[in-house]
Each structure stands twice: as C-alpha cells, then as structure tokens.
Amino acid sequence: MDVGILGAGHYLPTKVVTNEDIEKIVDTNDEWIRTRTGIEERRFAEDSIDTSDMSYHAAVDALKEANVKAEEIDLILVATVTPDTPFPSVSCMIQDRLGAVNAAAMDVGAACAGFMYGLITAKQFIETGAYKKVLVVGADKLSKIINWEDRSTCVLLGDGAGAVVVGEVSEGKGILSFELGAKGAGGKELFQNKEGYLEMNGREVFKFAVRQMPESTVNVIEKIGLKKSDVDYLVPHQANIRIMDAARERLGIAEDKMATTIKKYGNNSSASIPMALSESVKNGKIKDNDLIVLVGFGGGLAWGAVAIRWGI
C-alpha cells in the first residue's frame, strides 16, 4: 500500500510581533535579529488562544483540503511540547471539537521533530491496515515558554499550527522513504528548564543541525535510488535561516527550491514543517509528482526526514 498526504492545512494567530516590538522588551535590535536568524516578525497567540485552538483550526483546514470528514478519521496524532494542560491531551481535545467520534487520539513529544515522528507513525498504522485515515497535527504556543531575559532564544520563537491528513494514495505516490533518529546525550543542548523556559546552546545546536539535516536528506533520497539533484522542493524545520541555508548549500539545492517561512513566522517548533508545507502547497510551489523532502530536528536531540512523491 502507498501512503501519503491527502491534504494539508495550517493556522496562524493574528497578532504580529515585529523585531521593533521585541526591541522594546529586550536589549537587541532589528539588524541583529535579522542577520543572525532571518526573522523579521512572528505571530503570538492571544491569552484566549491555546495550542488546542490552533490545532483545531489547522485540522479543519487540512480536512477541507483533503475532502475528508471528521468522522472518517481513525486516529489523531498531535505533536506538541506546549499542550494546554498535561492531560487531557490536545489530541483528545480536538477529537471532541472536530466531532471525530471514531478516532483514537494521542499526543507525540519530540519537540521540533515531533511532526516527523507523528507522520511516520501514521504511515505505519495505515500500512498495517489498522487504520485508513490519520490526522497528524504539529502545534505549539512557544510564547508560553519564552524567557525574556535570554535574548539569544526569545527572538526566535512564534506560535502556530499545521496539519495533514494521511491515507492511501495511488501507486508510486506518497511517502517513499524515511529516517528517524535520536541522540539523547545531546538533550542538554536544547531543553525546557525547571522554570518552564526554553534553554539552548546555540553553537552546539547549529553544528548538529547543519550536519544532520543534509545527512538525513541524502539518506532518504538514496534509499529510493535517487540523488540530490532529483529533489524538487525541500521543506526544512524553520529553526534559523543560517542553519537552513547551510544545509541547503551542502545539498546543492537552489534557494527557490526551499520553503522559507521563518522570515514571517519565526521558529514554530512542531508546527514549522506542516505550516511551511501547507503554505507551499497553497502557493503553488509544490506541484503534483514533485519529489519533496521534509526534514526536521529538535530537542531530544531528535530528528527525522521523509521523501515524498507529491500527489494522491
């Protein structure tokens, strides 16, 4: 059975926070942020909007794009590190709100790589014949865990959600190969501290990311007997434009063949890949039969990549 993405959707809060706004809170400036991260603005959810709300709206968009009804969904997987509450899970919350009465539900915790873990988990359930359609959501309200006294991390983060519906696709389409991995010894480089704030060793995370993203991309391409030049479009985790460009250049991929939403939205953790994917599809940058690679890394340290022949 060939398994792929039937439709993608996303949701962004309406509140725009510019670098100039950040300057009023932290000892930093627009030029410093732009040159080191590529970020010009990000979205923050209002206090009344939580992770489950963003997840719900992204899911509704994905279901619409896939032309799938909520009651057709067999399983809901939500990748997040900022749930509304420890329990009930975000997946259970949106199962109820969507009316997906036939779906099992669970959350996945792999930080910025969470969506990749969720997507591959969905693929396994469908390939075994256990389920037919799975909703995978990546959503985070990172504004909840920002330490405004740490100017190296507070400028990076934004809120949002992305979602996909996964199911059977025609022969030769869908997820062709994947790679998942973890390096628990690197967990100390990127984590949530006891006060609940994000902490990161930027230098070490940068070195890890610029090595792992190209390596994982090449690995999933080689698994299907293709080469780097066969990639039509790259959708990386939107962590930092310098990391993204370094990985893209190592792969020999042209700038216009890489999804880049970090300028407008910042780093959205679990949401960044599905948001960038959905926006790229809606903007016509990803077309039927394109070979695309999704690749992400995050706290854990964990990473994942998939090669997809786009289309149903």
Q: What is the CATH number of the domain that holds 24?
A: 3.40.47.10
The active-site residue out of 57, 112, 240, 268 is 112
Q: Of 168, 200, 221, at which residue does a domain stop? A: 168
Q: Which residues 6+ apart lie within 8 Å of 275 measured at CB?
A: 10, 12, 58, 138, 160, 161, 162, 238, 261, 265, 268
Q: 3-state class of 41 per DSSP?
A: strand
219 lies in the same domain as 237: yes
Query: For the chain, what is the largest distance between any 2 Cα atoms, rounded to a whole number of angstroms?
Result: 55
> Tokens standing for 96?
């109820």
Residue 13 preceded by cis peptide, ω within 30: no
pLDDT at 181: 96
Looking at the fold, whether 178 and 151 belong to one and the same domain comes out as no
Weakest-pLDDT range from 103-107, 130-134, 194-198, 275-279: 194-198
Q: Which one of 149, 168, 187 terminates a domain? A: 168
Residue 44 has pLDDT above 90, yes or no: yes
Tell me, yes or no, whether 229 and 287 share the same domain: yes
Residue 10: its H or E element: strand 3-11
pLDDT tops 90 at residue 61: yes
**What would the pLDDT profile of 159-186 be if each residue is shown by its tens digit?**
999 999 999 999 999 999 999 999 999 9
Same domain, 153 and 11: yes
Same domain membership, residue 27 and residue 92: yes
Examine the domain organization and report whether 14 and 104 are in the same domain.
yes
Confirm whether 154 is a catalytic residue. Answer: no
pLDDT confidence of residue 201: 87
- 242/204 same-domain check: yes
Q: Are 13 and 76 within one domain?
A: yes
User: In the listed set 142, 168, 194, which residue is the last one of a domain according to the structure?
Assistant: 168
Helices (H), the chain: 19-23, 30-37, 51-66, 90-98, 114-127, 151-154, 202-222, 241-251, 262-265, 272-282
Annotated catalytic residue within 19, 240, 267, 268: 267
DSSP class of 300: T
How many domains, in total, are found in the chain?
2
Residue tagged active-site, from 10, 154, 237, 268:
237
Contacts of 3 (CB under 8 A, 6+ apart): 122, 123, 126, 127, 166, 167, 168, 169, 174, 175
CA dist., res. 271 & res. 31, Å (int): 26
Residue 10 designated active-site? no
Statement to judge: residues 138 and 184 lie in one domain: no
Task: Tell me: pLDDT of 198 over 90.
Answer: no
Task: Judge residue 256's burial from the number of C-beta atoms within 10 Å of its C-beta, 0-12 exposed, 13-18 middle, 19 or more buried.
Answer: exposed
> What is the residue range of 112's domain?
3-168
Among this protein's residues, is 237 annotated catalytic? yes
pTM: 0.96
Q: Is 275 helix (H, G, I), strand (E, B) or coil?
A: helix
Q: Do 84 and 197 share a structural domain?
A: no
Mean pLDDT (whole number) for 107-118: 95
**pLDDT, tens digit, for every residue of 295-304?**
999 889 999 9
